């Protein structure tokens, strides 16, 4: 597997290309990202034409409220249900059915529920890829890391894998997520 990331002058990811090989066939997946300040506003899947637009709480908040998914077949609406620290716990569709559920471990690693627990056997399962994590973080399936605007966070160890770009102004520990990763979130400067 090979992943390439492209950024703008503000350090925001604007393009991602993931190439993988399965059974001798090369698969290439491209995504474009659109931003509103430092918040992810939209993901555009170049391969399928799918476009996801995120809606957040009041201006400046990183708490997602909803996502509008535009596909060739039409629009779908989904609602985020978040904890007090803005981390999505569940996502429901317009009919109120849970389409994604995640259980956060100590430092933000998410174990997604298979949803067989929630589903009605008579109802067709609807799949939903939910990549928003702690406030301002985006999960990259290809690396297992969370993109946090200016650097990457490893939810397995509760630390950034790159030093704070503002140096010691961000604190003595250049790799710490927040003073208390269980009760705070890192601010995007």
The domain limits of the chain are 2-170
Check residue 121 and give its pLDDT: 53
> Which pLDDT tens digits describe the chain residue by residue (189 residues)?
999 999 999 999 999 999 999 888 999 999 999 999 999 999 999 999 999 999 999 888 999 999 999 999 999 999 999 999 899 999 999 999 999 999 998 888 998 765 544 455 555 567 788 999 988 899 999 999 999 988 999 999 999 999 988 888 878 888 888 665 555 555 554
Report the C-alpha gap between 69 and 6 in whole angstroms: 23
Helix, strand or coil for residue 150?
coil
- pLDDT tens across 145-158, in order? 999 988 999 999 99
| Count of CA atoms in the C-beta half-sphere (13 A) of 2 | 6
Report the C-alpha gap between 110 and 4 in whole angstroms: 24
Mean pLDDT of the chain: 88
pTM to 2 decimals? 0.84
Which of 128, 127, 89 has the alpha carbon at shortest distance from 111?
A: 89
Check residue 167 and give its pLDDT: 84
Tokens linked to 112: 């997604």
Report the C-alpha gap between 94 and 78 in whole angstroms: 6
Where do the DSSP E strands lie in the chain? 2-7, 13-22, 25-36, 39-45, 51-56, 64-71, 74-82, 88-93, 98-104, 110-112, 138-140, 145-147, 152-154, 159-160
Report the C-alpha gap between 53 and 59 in whole angstroms: 16
């Amino acid at each position: 597997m090979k992943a390439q990331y492209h950024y703008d002058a503000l350090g925001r990811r604007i393009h991602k290309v993931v190439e993988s090989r399965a059974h001798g066939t090369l698969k290439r997946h491209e995504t474009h990202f659109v931003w509103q300040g430092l918040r992810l506003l939209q993901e555009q899947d170049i391969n399928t034409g799918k476009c996801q637009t995120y809606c957040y709480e009041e201006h400046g908040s990183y708490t997602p409220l909803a996502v509008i998914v535009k596909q060739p077949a039409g629009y779908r609406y989904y609602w985020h249900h978040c904890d007090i620290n803005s981390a999505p716990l569940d996502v429901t569709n317009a009919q109120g059915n849970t389409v994604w559920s995640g259980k956060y471990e100590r430092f933000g690693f998410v174990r997604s529920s298979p949803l067989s627990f929630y589903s009605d056997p008579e109802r067709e399962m609807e799949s939903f890829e939910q990549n928003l994590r702690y406030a301002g973080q985006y999960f990259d399936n290809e690396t297992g890391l969370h993109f946090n605007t200016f650097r990457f966070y490893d939810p397995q160890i509760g630390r950034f894998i790159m030093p704070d770009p503002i140096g010691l102004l961000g604190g003595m520990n250049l790799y710490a997520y927040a003073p208390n990763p269980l009760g705070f979130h890192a601010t995007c400067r």
